[in-house]
A and B are shown apart, each in its own frame.
Chain A
Amino acid sequence: MRLSCEVNGERYQIDGVWEGESLLYVLRERLGLYGSKNACEQGECGSCSVYLDGVLVCSCLVLAGQAEGRRIVTVEGISGGEGLHPVQEAFVEAGAVQCGFCTPGLIVATHDLLFRNPHPTDAEIREALAGNLCRCTGYEKILDAVRLAAERA
């Protein structure tokens, strides 16, 4: 089938999409946007997090056809231009990135959190990021990065 949608501000028409495939598959395998990661395909790890019409979702749990006519923003579109978004900078500076596999999802989820709640408490950060798993950092540096990004905003 054909899918039309907007990704990071660009309009796409994608042919040959299989009816049962996920938005994550479309982003990675059809558009070559490898920022969103595929780790679990069952909503458990958050590494595929993107915005769908401004709402934070796991793209592995969105059926491609559900994105018809919708606006998607992936980690590649977060900064909105050249250079890094302040959330991305904070992750780099705080040492919140090791292997980096979880990072794109965490960037998008943190971006969403700080948009809704610019000065979250630690408990609120934990609740907001509960759906993003990291195997490397032990999360302390990630919490530091979120606090840093919040301070600067």
Chain B
Amino acid sequence: MEFMQPLDWEEALEIKAAHPEARPIFGGTDVMVELNFGRERPEVLMDLTRVPELREWGEEDGRLRVGAGVTYTRIIEELKERLPGLAMASRTVGSPQIRNRGTVGGNLGTASPAGDALPPLYVSGAEVEVASVRGVRRIPVEEFVRGPKRNALREDELILSFLLPGARGPQQYAKIGPRNAMVIAVCSLGLALDPERRELGVCIGSAGPTPFRAREAEGFIRGVLEEGGLWESRSEIGESALARFGELVAGAARPISDVRGTAEYRRHAVAVLARRVLRWAWEEYREGR
């Protein structure tokens, strides 16, 4: 095994081009488990924690551009106002020890359907910026995540950052698990409201091979809000509309049964989460927060 430690982005890309088999490691919260249990023996391990470009975030053309190596702890501390949905999801990840090391870049690298950072990226239409010595690509997150633990990275590419608009309205994230901390989601749900554009995004996590948007449910509730003039009046969303919304979101889920829960339970839980999360976000909007 070989250990490499590039000190900047260019060097990292050159190493990846020369050693396509190199396994990148950032927070190590996924990679180290594989190494410790002998499930993986990469020929080359490439530590990316010294690459300053990966740890930066800033604004670019009205969007936020966040380095793949910004930890969950930093997202919670530094981006809570701008990206409340992602900050909320980050707070559900593991424990302080895990959040101090784990990164959104690593979550994208692993591309688990239960990855907590993913639904907030989906609902905001985020793009993943990847690069190789050949150049840079920006890929919509929905195309980047390809299947359970599969993503669109080519063998010489690394993840540099993700780009998304700052919150345009209330955002929420909720996750179901046997306890509040240290759980992989049985299922999860992210939601973002965009009052100015009269838009909303809903994404289900851990109830299909990848996270995915519930577009039919989005269309339904968009219609309810539009026709009822609710965006203007800021009045409550009726119970029957909430219930129908929950049903449509659950209908879109493609859950499997596994150790964490049965498909049936997941479908039911997704409906409950959807109603709840929409209600929370709408309450925030009504109160003008």
Contact = CB atoms under 8 A, between A and B. Distances in A.
A131 B45 contact: no
Interface string B175-198: 000001110000000000000000
B28 A61 contact: yes
Contact of B96 (A22, A42, A56): A56
B45 A63 contact: yes
B47 interface: yes
A42 B49 CA distance: 20
Contact of A18 (B1, B27, B32): B1
A60 B28 CA distance: 9
Contact of B28 (A63, A68, A109): A63
Given A43-B94, A60-B32, A63-B28, A130 B181 contact: yes
Given A22-B36, A42-B33, A58-B97, A65 B28 contact: no
Contacts, number: 91
Contact of B100 (A1, A57, A66): A57
B: contact size bracket: 20 to 34
A109 B96 contact: yes
A128 B47 CA distance: 28
Nearest to A61: B32
Contacts of A43: 29, 32-33, 94-95, 97-98
Contacts of A62: 28, 32, 101
B256 interface: no
Interface in B15-66: 25, 27-29, 31-33, 35-37, 41, 45, 47, 49
Pick from B5, B94, B101 the residue with the most CB of A within 10 Å.
B101
Contacts of B41: 20
A54 B81 CA distance: 25
Given A43-B29, A127-B181, A66 B47 contact: yes
A62 B27 CA distance: 7
Contacts of B28: 61-63, 66
Interface in A13-43: 18-20, 22, 41-43
B3 interface: yes
A44 interface: yes
A: contact size bracket: 20 to 34
B25 A130 contact: no
A112 interface: yes
B5 A65 contact: yes
Interface of A: 1, 18-20, 22, 41-44, 46, 49, 55-58, 60-63, 65-66, 68, 109, 112, 127-128, 130-132
Interface of B: 1-3, 5, 25, 27-29, 31-33, 35-37, 41, 45, 47, 49, 94-98, 100-101, 180-182
30 contacts: A18-B1, A19-B2, A20-B35, A20-B41, A41-B33, A41-B37, A42-B37, A43-B97, A43-B98, A44-B182, A46-B97, A56-B97, A58-B97, A58-B101, A61-B28, A61-B101, A62-B28, A62-B32, A62-B101, A63-B3, A63-B28, A65-B3, A65-B5, A66-B47, A66-B49, A68-B5, A112-B96, A127-B181, A128-B96, A131-B182
Q: Which 8 A-B pairs have the closest CB atoms?
A: A131-B95, A130-B181, A41-B36, A19-B3, A19-B1, A61-B32, A65-B3, A42-B33
